[in-house]
Structure 1
Amino acid sequence: MDTMSVDVATDRPAGSVAVARDSARHFLDGLVPSLASEVAEIVALVVSELVTNALRHGGGACTLDLTAYPDSIEVAAHDHNPHAPRMRTPDLDSGTGGFGWAMVNRLARATAVTRRASGGKTVTALLAR
């Protein structure tokens, strides 16, 4: 089992998401056996969505953890907001989002939201390796 953890802050939201995505790609590139490029791109997309949501709705900072198991990759975003993400109708007119959580749920084998004893929550997505 391989693991990686990255702290992400919202001082530069777009840059922070890019750092999280690049860190995830670096982690995935080091796995043996290597991942198919399509799988790595799906993991990077899920990382982007979970970190974006955590920064936007979770208090401005989060920690991203990735864990590689023999048959799956777990992506976990920890933030300070105790409220679970919710499905909503995507906003096609004013660009306020609504696509991410539904997309993560379609791409993942399983998702979970767990409240943390220290406050906040962890949103986890388990993806096929």
Structure 2
Amino acid sequence: MSTTRPNAADDRGPEQGEVVVPPPAQVRRLLLSGVSGIVPTARDFTRQALHDWGWLPAGSADRRAAAEDALLVVSELVTNACLHAGGPEELRLYSQSKVLRLEVVDGGAGTPAPRTPHRAGRPGGHGMFIVQRLCLDWGVVRNRDGRPGKTVWAELAAPA
């Protein structure tokens, strides 16, 4: 786990004399405080964003797998906030050309981490292991204004 990742996967420097302007991120935000059915609501919101951004409907097995991975990671991050942080406050989705960033904001003080050692046959405790396995990177950013809470983020590769 890391909390920063300076370069996205497959970043390349500009050709000599070329000016590279990164594409603006497409952003979606969903307030989750007080929402019932938080996990299905977060998945439905993410599914709609993936549809709007061209990930769905999936035209290939790779695109379908990428969308399913994104939906699973959202489910795991939101569920983790429900179980260990008093519930999520907000879900943020950022789509750029090569990376999808998912963020779940919560008011909890804990730090999520995969259980070690991971035991596949044991019930529960697999959420952050799944996030770690599916994502390019993930991490935790604490609130800087002194309020309790954090943002748990994860980045997935966009489908080819």
- Matched to 1:49, the amino acid is E
Alignment of 1:78 with 2:102, yes or no, is no
Contact 1:9–1:55 at 8 Å: present in 2 too? no
CA gap of 1:60–1:90, structure 2 versus 1, over 3 A, is: farther
- Higher Rg of the two aligned structures: 2
CA gap of 1:77–1:10, structure 2 versus 1, over 3 A, is: same
1:30 corresponds in structure 2 to 52
1:45 corresponds in structure 2 to 72
Alignment of 1:112 with 2:139, yes or no, is yes
Aligned positions, number = 123
1:101 corresponds in structure 2 to 128
2:39 corresponds in structure 1 to 17
Q: How many Å apart are 1:11 and its aligned residue?
A: 6.1
1:125 corresponds in structure 2 to 154
Alignment partners' CA distance in 1, 2:129 and 2:107: 21
Q: What 5-or-longer segments of structure 1 have no aligned partner?
A: none
CA gap of 1:37–1:91, structure 2 versus 1, over 3 A, is: closer
Alignment of 1:68 with 2:95, yes or no, is yes
Q: Which has the higher helix share?
A: 1
Q: Secondary structure at the match of 1:70?
A: coil
CA-atom RMSD in angstroms: 1.8
Q: What 5-or-longer segments of structure 2 have no aligned partner?
A: 1-24, 56-62
Q: Secondary structure at the match of 2:104?
A: strand
Give the TM-score of the pair, scaled to structure 2: 0.71
Alignment partners' CA distance in 2, 1:10 and 1:49: 19
Q: How many Å apart are 1:9 and its aligned residue?
A: 3.9
Q: How many Å apart are 1:51 and its aligned residue?
A: 0.3
Alignment partners' CA distance in 2, 1:122 and 1:22: 21
